[in-house]
Amino acid sequence: MSVEALPSPVRTGFPAGFVWGAATAAYQIEGAAAEDGRTPSIWDTFSRTPGKVRNGDTGDIAADHYHRYREDVALMASLGLGAYRFSLAWPRIVPGGRGPVNEAGLDFYDRLVDELLAAGIAPVATLYHWDLPQELEDGGGWTNRDTAYRFAEYARVAAERLGDRIGTWTTLNEPWCSAFLGYGNGIHAPGRTSPADALTAHHHLLLAHGLGTAALRSALPPAAQVSLTLNLAAVRPLSQDAADLDAARRIDGLANRIFLDPVFHGRYPADVLADTAEVTDWSFVRDGDLAEISRPIDSLGINYYTPTVVAADDPERPAVRQDGHAGDISPWPADRGVRFLPAEGSRTAMGWPVDADGLYELLTRLRDDLPGLPLLVTENGAAYEDYSDPSGAVRDPERIAYLHGHLGAVRRAIGDGAPVKGYFLWSLLDNFEWAFGYSKRFGIVHVDFASQRRTPKESARWYAEVIRTGDLPA
């Protein structure tokens, strides 16, 4: 066979139809905190509580997206984005969490969705990205079962108004963080520090997901897609010693199977129930809850930043919890006997080790554990110390390297049979990074918060080129 007759090189790019997106969340970018009838969420209260958020930053103005959404959609279009993942603010739509609907709040999302569609960008909406109406927290928040029912009502209202134009809906973003950082170690709103509350909140969040899924299905056209986004952990034992393997089993339970088993198999894992027995008897789980929670969904969203390396406690070594989460208290209920160690490699500005293999491990594990279920990477990206140089340019080669590595991992997972349908880069814009305030920049577009000027970073141009070619540069 002559060289000419050899088949053309194997296509190394992403599959046709692969969805290229970027992600944001309401409280992190919108601002307009008190406009058009929005009432405070737990993050408004928390960010006003001294000592909770770095520099006393709040989301009052954030990236002012509420007023600048047209400019932001134009930016997205200029990058060639096919989809945009954003969240709806519950306290805009149902202020106070229950009762009358605020049409002015819905109107904002109406305008945003129409702008996206006019630009040829598919809207992907998340109903809950952590901004629980404060009134509901005052009534117990996610530790109160009633909150799950209020969520379902809100889901129905949003779907009835926007369901004719939004094709993909996500109930919750990272319920692990809502429960374990919000109610367990208190580093996130509402700032409670009770392992029992964390597990109660966890169950009620899943119940909200199930009830919300039912509400969405009843209000949406049959072709609409319903999803859930989890920050599953790529858990690695430090060694193959039995004690390290058991630490990995325990954390895999508390990070992964505590979600995957109820949502996809209608049961909580027996070992997680046993591991947490010292914290709670799980009597908050009522008959019928697991059937509700395991209603079929159309895809699973995965947010991934860094792997989780664990080892057994060792009397010779100091206890460490370098799990990427700030705070002195562990968010992991009943993690006694587990050390969390950093993976090797360079670190982002969050101090999170850069390790793209973790994303590959997660995607191929889900390929095996949930055969046939479409997967979306709904968040992935990195914070670095970006600044705009005297010429006005923002050069972020480390972010480009991070994205290149992780998109390479996604491509490799797809090549090995993982049904990954899309990738949403976190984040479109620099924004309010929760307890870190504006000190951490995750955007591919730089935001000067004083002037609200947007400047695409080099990584934005790089990503636009990946989207255009459907492949990574050599």
Residues that bind ligand FCB (CB under 6 A): 25, 28, 173-174, 177, 231, 303, 379, 426, 433-434, 442
Cβ nearer to ligand FCB, comparing 25 with 159: 25
Residues, the chain? 474
Cβ nearer to ligand FCB, comparing 20 with 434: 434
* Shortest distance (Å) from residue 231 CB to ligand FCB: 6
C-alpha–C-alpha distance, residues 158 and 149, integer Å: 15
Q: Considering only CA atoms, give the Rg of the chain.
A: 22
CB 230 within 8 A of CB 259: yes
* 379 classed as catalytic: yes
Instruction: Kindly state the tokens that stand for 339.
Output: 């050390």
Cβ nearer to ligand FCB, comparing 66 with 130: 130
Cβ nearer to ligand FCB, comparing 30 with 174: 174
Q: Which candidate, 154, 184, 187, places its Cα nearest to that of 26?
A: 154
DSSP-assigned letter for residue 10 = P
Out of 135, 174, 292, 433, the active site residue is 174
Find where tokens 């100091």 sit.
Answer: 318
* Shortest distance (Å) from residue 414 CB to ligand FCB: 23
Out of 361, 379, 398, 433, the active site residue is 379
* Shortest distance (Å) from residue 434 CB to ligand FCB: 5
Q: Which candidate, 9, 29, 121, 3, places its Cα nearest to that of 430?
A: 29
C-alpha–C-alpha distance, residues 171 and 210, integer Å: 9
Environment class of residue 193 by beta-carbon count within 10 Å: exposed (0-12), middle (13-18) or buried (19+)?
middle
CB 169 within 8 A of CB 216: yes
Cβ nearer to ligand FCB, comparing 109 with 305: 305
C-alpha–C-alpha distance, residues 401 and 253, integer Å: 32
Cβ nearer to ligand FCB, comparing 135 with 174: 174
Helices 195-219 and 146-162: angle between axes, nearest 10 degrees: 30
What residues form DSSP beta bridges with 84? 22, 123
DSSP-assigned letter for residue 354 = P
C-alpha–C-alpha distance, residues 222 and 335, integer Å: 42
Find where tokens 């935001």 sit.
Answer: 447
C-alpha–C-alpha distance, residues 84 and 290, integer Å: 31
Torsion of CA 236, 240, 241, 245, to 10 degrees: 40
Cβ nearer to ligand FCB, comparing 194 with 303: 303
* Shortest distance (Å) from residue 176 CB to ligand FCB: 9
C-alpha–C-alpha distance, residues 24 and 30, integer Å: 10
* Shortest distance (Å) from residue 355 CB to ligand FCB: 16
The dihedral region occupied by 470, where left means phi > 0, alpha psi between -120 and 50, and beta the remainder, is left
Cβ nearer to ligand FCB, comparing 90 with 268: 90
Instruction: Kindly state the tokens that stand for 26.
Output: 């309401």
Which residues are designated catalytic? Answer: 174, 379
